Amino acid sequence: MIGIFGGSFDPLHRGHINSMLSVGHALNLSQVICIPAHQTPNRPMTEGPTPAERLEMTKEGLKPQSYLITVDDREVRRGGISYTVDTLESLRQDYPDEELFLIIGMDQFVNFSQWRDYEKILKLTHLAVTSRPDFEFPQGLEDLPVDLQDKVDVFDGKEALLHNGSKIVFVQLQDVAVSATEIRRRYRQNLPTAKFVTPEVDAYIREKGLYQAGQSKVDNFENFTQFCMAVLENRNGINIQGFDLREAQSLSEYTLVCSGTSTRHASSLAEAVIKAVKEEYGLWPLNVEGQKEGRWVVIDYGSLIVHVFYDFVRLEYRLEELWQAQKGVKALTFQSPLPQSSVITQR
Ligand code: ATP
């Protein structure tokens, strides 16, 4: 029996290693194949290591576990968006007679029925679902994702047997509360990371200078903020307000807030900023949160954080009032006209 563990590993951390080792042990797997994605579906483009660097970092990081775990480069070689179903089909050809267990965290399992061809995935493999802090294991059939419920024959709270003969096994970990997003932030802010990444991965990150605040492409963050404000204005963003936080106690130097008339409008405003900044500055954000939902999208450019709200949600938080109440915060006056190259025609 072979375990399959995919992810972006940006970077590989102790939570990933713990998951592979614990499931390997609990299910008595002969091998776990760890497969770094070329590009994970639905993940926004961000600044950071190339797929080849993530692959190399994962290989370096898993050398001490080579007795159980092998790192496979098929998704990086395939390029494009890495759909698990394609990977499983190719693994099936390599291992026609093996039982495969796709290992995923509970955070992934809750959305599993939105994965491309998830029904086919369930024919190709069993699932091993691991615990993650803040996510509860299902207790009964009615707690399983709705689309899966009618595919289950029996569920005893630990293992669900499906009509098609596959099973979903739930494996409780000694949880390591860590996410790659948090680790990237820690590297950018020069905070300790030893609790979250192993020495091998840390050495690789430092040698390659990964996850540094991506400031090199922006020489003046005030102009950069003005540029983002202009993009939002051009797309009919509502009540755009920028702030200089350099003399305030804050993690970023500048911030701006804007809203859209709907969650869709907010998502498209965020998308417009990301696209225009990429075109004008050649820069992807360091991190993006909430873009799909469009209620409160946070685009992190290191020294500038952009908040795009659905206007209704913005009223709940009133961030600008919090900032204005802080000592040293200066409101920016919107001045820069949008450079010609970045004028976006309205859709
Ligand atoms: P990000 O914060 O960028 O989303 P991540 O570490 O959650 O990163 P991936 O590297 O794509 O994301 O995760 C790959 C797999 O590892 C997923 O199945 C995820 O559920 C699982 N995973 C991630 N962190 C942990 C953890 N701390 N414990 C157990 N499983 C984890």
State whether residue 284 is helix, strand or coil.
Answer: coil
105 CA from centroid of ligand 1 (Å): 7
Tell the residue nearest (CA) to atom 15 of ligand 1.
Answer: 7
Structure tokens at 192: 């300790």
CA distance 230 to 327: 26
Residue nearest to atom 18 of ligand 1 (CA): 104
Residue closest via CA to ligand 1's atom 16 equals 16
What is the pLDDT, as a whole number, of residue 197?
97
Task: Please tell me the distance from the alpha carbon of residue 140 to that of residue 40, in angstroms, as a whole number.
Answer: 30
CA-proximal residue: ligand 1, atom 30 (nearest): 105
Distance from the CA of 8 to the center of ligand 1, in angstroms? Answer: 8
- Reading the chain (347 residues) residue by residue, the pLDDT tens digits are 999 999 999 999 999 999 999 999 999 999 999 999 999 997 888 888 999 999 999 999 999 999 999 999 999 999 999 999 999 999 999 999 999 999 999 999 999 999 999 999 999 999 999 999 889 999 999 999 999 999 999 999 899 999 999 999 999 999 788 889 899 989 988 899 999 999 999 999 999 999 886 556 788 899 999 999 999 999 999 999 999 999 887 778 899 999 999 999 999 999 999 999 999 998 999 889 999 899 999 999 988 999 999 999 999 999 888 888 888 899 888 775 655 444 444 33
Atom number in ligand 1 closest to CA 12: 10
Dihedral of the alpha carbons of 324, 328, 333, 339, in degrees to the nearest 10: -120
| Residue 54, ligand 1, Cβ within 6 A | no
Q: Is the dihedral of CA 325, 327, 329, 331 positive or negative?
A: positive
Q: Which of the 8 DSSP states describes residue 135?
A: B
Where do the domains of the chain lie? 2-171, 217-345
| Inter-residue contact 197 to 225 (CB < 8 Å) | no
- 237 near 269, Cβ under 8 Å? yes
Q: At CB < 8 A and 24+ separation, what contacts does 115-121 make?
A: 115/41, 115/84, 115/85, 116/41, 116/83, 116/84, 116/85, 117/83, 117/85, 118/85, 118/147, 119/151, 120/85, 121/84, 121/85, 121/88
Asked whether 49 lines ligand 1 (CB < 6 A), one says no
Q: Which is the closest atom of ligand 1 to the Cα of 103? A: 18
Q: Is the CB of 46 under 6 A from ligand 1?
A: no
Predicted confidence at residue 150, as pLDDT, reads: 93
Mutate to test the pocket of ligand 1, among 9, 16, 18, 183 (most ligand atoms within 8 A of CB): 16
The response to whether residue 180 sits with its C-beta less than 6 Å from ligand 1 reads yes
Ligand 1 in reach of 107 Cβ (< 6 A): yes
Q: How many angstroms does the Cα of residue 229 sit away from the middle of ligand 1?
A: 33
- Give residues with Cβ within 8 angstroms of 41, minimum separation 6: 81, 82, 83, 115, 116
pLDDT at 139: 93
Could you tell me which residues come within 8 angstroms of residue 40 by beta carbon, excluding any fewer than 6 positions away? 7, 8, 81, 82
Closest residue (by CA) to atom 8 of ligand 1?
180
Q: Does the beta carbon of 178 sit less than 6 angstroms from any atom of ligand 1?
A: yes
| Topology of the domain comprising 217-345 | Beta Polymerase; domain 2 (3.30.460)
- Which CATH number does 2-171 carry? 3.40.50.620
Phi, psi of 291 (to 5 degrees): -65, -40
DSSP string, 49-88: --HHHHHHHHHHHTGGGTTTEEE--HHHHH-SS--HHHHH
Do domains 2-171 and 217-345 share one topology? The answer is no
Mutate to test the pocket of ligand 1, among 19, 32, 55, 287 (most ligand atoms within 8 A of CB): 19
Please name the residues in contact with 283: beta carbons below 8 A apart, sequence gap of 6 or more: 47, 214, 217, 218, 277, 301
